[in-house]
Copies of this chain bind each other. A is one copy, B any other.
């Protein structure tokens, strides 16, 4: 029996994971407002599950930094402060840079081909103004690089940390000039990857990230002002 063909991925996932995913989505989309207290009872009735798996899901999200658990006081959605963003940024930068370097060591020709395809998509989406699709493709390129790095630990770290800032993306709206610049940066990133120039790729990714965070910072700041004025 050939072993790569049969694995029959009968993924029977436990309920708490399912729940965690849904909650994650809700938090990222800000359907659950940052800072708001989460009542277990309410969510239970809303999802039609008992408290046990819900609590397990909340514990999961707590380790991911999306919710805060205070003893006897329940869970609340963590709010993204500019301060926290300042702390997250350098860590993500280090991880991205590492991912770039490792990716260049392990990337296959097929992956480079795929990256080129994705880049073409990205440019098309930019031209047609498809912001939503652009975000998705962008995410895919990002994931491709991490996948090419062939380091599960790194991937996991990156996921857990980027989960915390991902919801900020939903608040931030790309300006046209920034969008154009981002596409250009992606072109350089693709170039470095296909040349397998790890050092350069790492640097580019870090810079790209820095620019991304500038946008986030701005959006977050605007959001804060809006919140305090109301």
Contact with B along A50-94 (1 / 0, CB 8 A): 001001100110011100000110000000000010011011001
Residues of A164-180 whose CB lies within 8 A of B: none
A118 sits at the interface (CB 8 A): no
A228 sits at the interface (CB 8 A): no
In the bound complex, CA of A156 to CA of B164 (Å):
13
Known contacts A60-B63, A63-B63, A157-B157; is-contact A91 B87 (Cβ 8 Å): no
A102 sits at the interface (CB 8 A): yes
Give min CB distance, A163 to chain B, whole Å.
12
A112 sits at the interface (CB 8 A): no
Give min CB distance, A107 to chain B, whole Å.
16
CB-CB < 8 A to A71: which residues of B? 12-14
**Which of these, B52, B63, B72, B151, contacts A91 with CB under 8 Å?**
B151
Residue ID in chain B nearest A84 by CB atoms:
B153
A161 sits at the interface (CB 8 A): yes
State whether B56 touches A12 (Cβ < 8 A).
Answer: no
CB-CB < 8 A to A91: which residues of B? 95, 98, 151, 153-154, 157
The 6 closest A-B pairs by CB, nearest first: A87-B153, A63-B63, A94-B98, A94-B94, A87-B151, A88-B153
Extra contacts besides A88-B153, A91-B151 (8): CB < 8 Å: A52-B52, A63-B63, A84-B153, A87-B152, A91-B154, A94-B98, A153-B161, A157-B157
